[in-house]
């Protein structure tokens, strides 16, 4: 999962390098803004995936407890 998120972040980094380079600004500003885009996208996707995985685990845990209670009643 981490490799996928990092690859998506790198994809956005290179797209933003191309986008900002066409705006005729300095190389330092292009790299700085592109790194900011990379950092924001990577951090956002990481947080989103952690929340998503935790919600799936919580749902599976509650379902497991319900199934365990149903089996123990019989």
For the chain, the domains span 2-73
The answer, yes or no, to whether residue 36 has pLDDT greater than 80, is yes
In the prediction, which pLDDT does 74 show? 59
Task: Name every residue whose Cβ is closer than 8 Å to that of residue 12 and which is 6 or more positions away in sequence.
Answer: 37, 38, 41
Grade residue 40 by pLDDT with cuts at 50, 70 and 90.
very high
Tell me the percentage of the chain whose pLDDT exceeds 90: 70
Phi-psi region of 51 (alpha: psi -120 to 50; beta: other; left: phi over 0): alpha
Residues 20 and 60: their CA atoms lie apart, in Å, by 44
Do residues 37 and 9 lie in contact, with contact meaning Cβ atoms separated by under 8 Å? no
Do residues 18 and 37 lie in contact, with contact meaning Cβ atoms separated by under 8 Å? no
**Average model confidence (pLDDT) across the chain:** 91
What pTM does this model have?
0.77
């Amino acid at each position: 999962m981490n490799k996928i998120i990092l690859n998506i972040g790198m994809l956005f980094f290179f797209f933003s390098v191309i986008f900002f380079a066409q705006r005729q600004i300095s190389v330092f500003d292009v790299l700085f803004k592109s790194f900011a885009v990379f950092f924001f996208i990577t951090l956002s996707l990481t947080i989103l995936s952690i929340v998503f995985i935790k919600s799936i685990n919580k749902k599976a845990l509650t379902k497991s407890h319900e199934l365990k209670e149903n089996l123990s009643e019989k």
